[in-house]
Amino acid sequence: MTDDALNIEHLRGWIGRTEQVDDEIAAVPLRGLAAALECEGSAPARGDVAPPLGHWLYFLPQAPQSQIGPDGHPRRGDFLPPVPLPRRMWAGGRLQWEPGNPLRVGDAARRLSRIESVTHKSGRSGQMVFVLVRHEVHNARGLCLSEEQDLVYRAAANPADPAPVPTAAETGAPWRREITPSSVLLFRYSALTLNNHRIHYDRDYATGVEGYPGLVVQGPLIATLLTDLARRHAPGRAMRRFEFRAVRPTFEGHPFFVNGAPSADGRSASLWASDHEGWLTMQATLAFE
């Protein structure tokens, strides 16, 4: 696809577009997440602080079935720009929680979103378009958290493209948990987040259309497992900042690992995920209050 066919200037017309979504932070989705991740402790109840990244279970898209695209996502061109490249992924993000005002179960909340930038790159694997989206989540007391999401759109898979060179993950992590990503776990997380992307539940589509070797484990699920790992090893510590970047896809059927190492002063931690072959799949940093 040529630069002209992409019409980058047209796509940049979405910069500055905004969206507002209201929701109630109900307990039921958080209980479902806790069950899927096998979190210890009592089930979330009204008044409890929502876990880090728990807001991803709310403010979900509600597109009519007639507006769903061939990949399962809502058709582009409303809030998100109509990028014509077929493959879409959430490549990473940055979050900051406001001290003293956590999102709580029972809160009436509002998410304000804005398209910050649309950029184009061309690499060995073809054309790519990056869309930066900024979100702010408020409750009745004010701002709870702010977030930037990096979305990337890529050309269709080409078997002739060279495979990216993998990076070996660090070993000997003091924090470590093994996860076996079955198709049931992927389905449960997709259901909780209303993630219709077919690469997570439709094996024929994932392998035959997008060229993956199997169902793809959701990046947000891995990021959530990383913050959950930190909660298990640093209970009671409030998180202030979290940044993550997807490095390599993870697929169902093989175990993967979430890993962590606290800093010497205990105020931050390095987090990462690795697959069954020892390759780095996600990298993250976390700062505590």
For the chain, list the domains and their CATH numbers.
Answer: 3-288 (3.10.129.10)
Sign of CA dihedral 242, 287, 55, 258: positive
CB atoms under 10 Å from CB of 55, counted, come to 21
Mean pLDDT for the stretch of residues 164-178:
94
Taken in order 211, 216, 272, 223, the sign of the CA dihedral is positive
| Model pLDDT for residues 15-40, shown as the tens digit of each residue | 999 999 999 999 999 999 999 999 87
Is residue 288 scored above 70 in pLDDT? yes
Q: In whole angstroms, how far apart are CA 118 and each of 13, 16, 92, 129?
A: 9, 10, 15, 7
pLDDT at 285 > cutoff 60: yes
Residue type, 199: I
Lowest mean pLDDT among 36-45, 148-157, 176-185, 263-272: 36-45
80 DSSP 8-state letter: S
- Output 170-174 pairs: Cβ under 8 A, ≥24 positions apart: 170/259, 170/261, 170/272, 170/280, 171/278, 173/259, 173/260, 173/261, 173/272, 174/233, 174/260, 174/261, 174/262
What are the structure tokens assigned to 180, written together?
């076996």
- Give the residue from 251, 164, 247 showing the smallest Cα distance to 206: 251
Residue for token pair 């995920």: 273
Evaluate if residue 5 carries a pLDDT over 70: no
Half-sphere exposure of 67 (CA within 13 A, CB side): 9
DSSP string, 225-287: HHHHHHHHHSTTPPEEEEEEEE-S--BTTS-EEEEEEE-TTSSEEEEEEE-TTSBEEEEEEEE
Higher pLDDT: 42 or 152? It is 152
Q: pLDDT at position 106, please?
A: 97
Q: Give the pLDDT band (50/70/90) at residue 2.
A: very low
pLDDT above 90 covers a percentage of the chain that reads 79
Per-residue b/e over 164-176, b at no fewer than 16 CB within 10 Å? eeeeebeeebebe
- Positive or negative: CA dihedral 194, 199, 200, 201: positive
